[in-house]
Structure 1
Amino acid sequence: MEVIIIENKFILKPKVYFGNNALEMLKELTGTRAFVVVDAIMEKLGYLQKTIDLLKSAGISAEVYSDVRPDPDVKIVANGLKHYKESKADILIALGGGSAIDTAKGILYFAWKFESIEASEFKKPLFVAIPSTSGTGSEVTDFSVVTTEDGKVCIVDEFIAPDIAILDSTCIQHVPKHVVADTGIDVLVHAMEAYVSTKATDFTDALAEKAIKLIFENLETIYRDINNTKARDHVLNASCMAGMAFTNTGLGINHSLAHAFGGTFHISHGRSNALMLHEVLGFNADLSGDTNSQAAEKYARLATILNLPARTRREGIVSLMDAICQLKKNLGIEENIKALGISEDDFENALDKMAEAAMADRCTPTNPKQPSKENMIQIFRKSFGQA
């Protein structure tokens, strides 16, 4: 019998609820007990209590795990796993930024794996993700990043993708300006890497193009005025669209480099991505060569979509890179790594290990141009500000 393997697919798993009062959807859930993973900010701002009250109106009790930290490590996940198993919850809710959602995904993943080891049947809880930042797109992805002693580790499995995503932009209206900038550029990188990924399709291209356009049109607006509801909705939607795209395509070396750099020097994920973007674009587009690649063609197409000068492919690529540099400048993002105050000696001492980590990263295989370790080192050095 002939076995036919079809590699092309597009997964749309979560139901997405969005718009004003989207949080009210929690009253429609069915279950008995929820385990809520929440970060300190959402607890402080009252969104945790609102979530508990909405669940209560549906007859659902809640147990809270609030020991969430930026860049969650294995200890945080392990502690959360212990409390989750004790709760016997049939609903898992992640409320907060990417770290809260990543923590919840880690808890779910390891609960499932431990049950498999023990040959026990694992009854998966209904998984609901409610993002409080417009950046990670984690509410619709099968990615989770957990920090270990050796750096950041990506968990990628369809099992950990949420069942329901709730996009209520009131949840992001108290985000500080630097977080708006970092997370917004992270959305841009997600979409751009999905767009040129080796696994890109017509479906993911449509989502990536729209997400990129929404970011260019609205991110600077909410950076200057977070109370602009329409722009805030657009950026949150763009984050979700970019997440839908990259969960189907994978990412690229922009994220591989950012994971290695951010984990080494404790720089936020979004800002780490921002600092690599210019040089990664130039590498993928072969800007020092003939720009005769599919990635180069697609970057030039983006320039056209954004109404930037693009009479030739090279002009389109340069226009796009210039527009991104201007956007980062307007968002108060440093021009290069050196501007963060990291010494060149410290950077050089970490360079080899960071390059090795980037080469081994789960995001590297779907980059449109496969790099060598020396390529990674060169991109790192240029991103630092070296000639």
Structure 2
Amino acid sequence: MYNFEIKTKIKFGKGSLESISEIKNKKILIITDPFMIKSKMIDKILEHIKESSYEIFSDIVPDPPIELIVSGVEVCDRVKPQVIIALGGGSAIDAAKAIMDFSKKILKTQEIEFIAIPTTSGTGSEVTSFSVITDNQKGAKYPLVSDELLPDIAILDPELVKTVPNFITADTGMDVLTHAIEAYVSTNANDFSDALAEKAIKLVCKYLIKTYKNGEDLDAREKMHNASCLAGLAFNNASLGVNHSIAHVLGGKFHVPHGRTNSILLPHVIEYNADIVGYNNTDYSLAAKKYADIASFLGLNSSNIRVGVKSLVNEIKKMQKEMNMPTKLSECKININDITDLEKEIAALAIKDACTKTNPKQPTEKEIINILNKIK
């Protein structure tokens, strides 16, 4: 038996941010990062909550470490908010999730309404039960997984993403594509998650390049914001795969942006999962067939399974080229020797990552090292 639920209310489209004006006479804790203050993006929130008292915790950094979560819990204990608003990218929303969850468990706080407002179109964190926290001492990322982490409300207003720099648009957009493709071929995929993943893939392939080339294109920005959320809903239900498992480890070790790492890995993971060997072999895996399905609904050449998989890989490489994205870790200022020295540890950690369980093919240490060798 399968189960499909959507807890989070989603408010989306131009002007959707105005919905937070419905919060009245409540104590609010806004969790965000310093850039939201410096850029005055925070003002777009504050102008709608004038009838409530609020405090801002703006210490969020990329890949939020455990120490930061502890500081946030201390602030939450002092403020005792009735509402938490997470404003920012995946790091801000992930940190807010962890702060809220630990506050409930450790401090036994009252029920807190949780509103997530993403300012990048990438993680889908506003509708997922995942949060990723970093242990800087061990150089590792730890995913927290619980339905208690799901926001009550997600607000997707494209006005908040139109000033995102093009290189971040590229990174986060390819993260969306990776989420959707991994959910689509996951061993937990089902008709409902497939429908969400398929729509997300179509939107990314139609609108990502447009947003990269013209960030002021609000219609394209809206479509990418929706795609990010749709992909989040898909993988929250179906989970992900080894692409994310390896990316989690590389991110923890080398601090390459998560979406960029996913993008570098994606063509190689697709080829690994498809597992097409020899031109005379027609005993294709389910993953290969589903990759070919993606090529088909994108209108790419998919005259047979082999051609469909290759077409999808080539389309991804074409998108990377159009957005001037790196395709090797060495282009991200990582010393190749450092990767070689740590390859066995990286492979072992990736195999243990929760995302690997739903990958269509269970990797060995040697197979992950082979993937690493291709992206050096």
Query: Normalising TM by the smaller chain, what interval?
Result: over 0.9
Normalising by structure 1, report the TM-score: 0.93
- Counterpart in the other structure of 2:46: 52
1:31 Cα shift? 5.4
Q: 269-278 or 44-53, which moves further after superposition?
A: 44-53
Residues 1:131 and 2:118 aligned together: yes
Task: Map Cα deviations across residues 279-311 of structure 1 (whole Å, 9 max, x no partner).
Answer: 110111113364611111110000010100011
RMSD value over aligned CA atoms?
1.2
Q: Distance in 2 between matches of 1:84 and 1:52?
A: 19
Contact 1:31 1:90 in 2 (8 A): no
Amino acid at match of 2:43: Q
- Counterpart in the other structure of 1:161: 150
- Counterpart in the other structure of 2:17: 23
Residues 1:40 and 2:34 aligned together: yes
Q: 173-182 or 284-293, which moves further after superposition?
A: 284-293
Task: Map Cα deviations across residues 316-369 of structure 1 (whole Å, 9 max, x no partner).
Answer: 000000000110111111122233342321110121111111111121101111
1:49 Cα shift? 2.2
Structural mapping, 1:95-244, within 5 Å: 95-115=87-107, 120=108, 122-148=109-135, 149-150=137-138, 151-244=140-233
- Counterpart in the other structure of 1:353: 345
Q: Distance in 2 between matches of 1:111 and 1:160?
A: 12
Residues 1:72 and 2:64 aligned together: yes
1:30 Cα shift? 4.8
1:45 Cα shift? 2.4
Contact 1:261 1:354 in 2 (8 A): yes
Structural mapping, 1:286-305, within 5 Å: 286-288=275-277, 290=281, 292-305=284-297
Q: Distance in 2 between matches of 1:62 and 1:141?
A: 25
Q: What SS does structure 1 have at the residue aligned with 2:45?
A: helix
Q: Distance in 2 between matches of 1:99 and 1:343?
A: 26
Q: 29-38 or 260-269, which moves further after superposition?
A: 29-38
1:85 Cα shift? 1.2
Task: Map Cα deviations across residues 65-97 of structure 1 (whole Å, 9 max, x no partner).
Answer: 000101110011110110011101010110011
1:63 Cα shift? 0.8
1:265 Cα shift? 1.1
Contact 2:256 2:332 in 1 (8 A): no
Task: Map Cα deviations across residues 48-71 of structure 1 (whole Å, 9 max, x no partner).
Answer: 123122112xx2211100001011
1:174 Cα shift? 1.1
Misfit runs of 4+, over 6 Å = none
Q: Distance in 2 between matches of 1:144 and 1:186?
A: 15
Contact 2:24 2:49 in 1 (8 A): no
Q: Distance in 2 between matches of 1:345 and 1:48?
A: 42
- Counterpart in the other structure of 1:3: none
Structural mapping, 1:228-307, within 5 Å: 228-288=217-277, 290=281, 292-307=284-299
Q: Distance in 1 between matches of 2:204 and 2:343?
A: 32
Q: 147-156 or 29-38, which moves further after superposition?
A: 29-38
Identity of aligned residues (%): 43
Task: Map Cα deviations across residues 167-196 of structure 1 (whole Å, 9 max, x no partner).
Answer: 001101111111000000000000001101
1:29 Cα shift? 2.5
Task: Map Cα deviations across residues 4-61 of structure 1 (whole Å, 9 max, x no partner).
Answer: xx4x1112111100111111000112551011001122222222123122112xx221
Q: Distance in 2 between matches of 1:139 and 1:114?
A: 23
Amino acid at match of 2:320: K
Q: What SS does structure 1 have at the residue aligned with 2:61?
A: coil
Normalising by structure 2, report the TM-score: 0.96
Q: Give the aligned length.
A: 371
Name the CA shift for 1:50/1:335 in 2 (closer, same or farther; >3 Å). closer
Q: Distance in 2 between matches of 1:123 and 1:306?
A: 47
Task: Map Cα deviations across residues 114-160 of structure 1 (whole Å, 9 max, x no partner).
Answer: 24xxxx5x422000000000000001111111100321110011000
Contact 2:86 2:115 in 1 (8 A): yes
Amino acid at match of 1:352: K
Contact 1:32 1:90 in 2 (8 A): yes
1:242 Cα shift? 0.2
Contact 1:137 1:240 in 2 (8 A): yes
Unaligned runs of at least 5 residues, structure 1: 1-5
Contact 1:135 1:187 in 2 (8 A): yes
Amino acid at match of 1:247: N
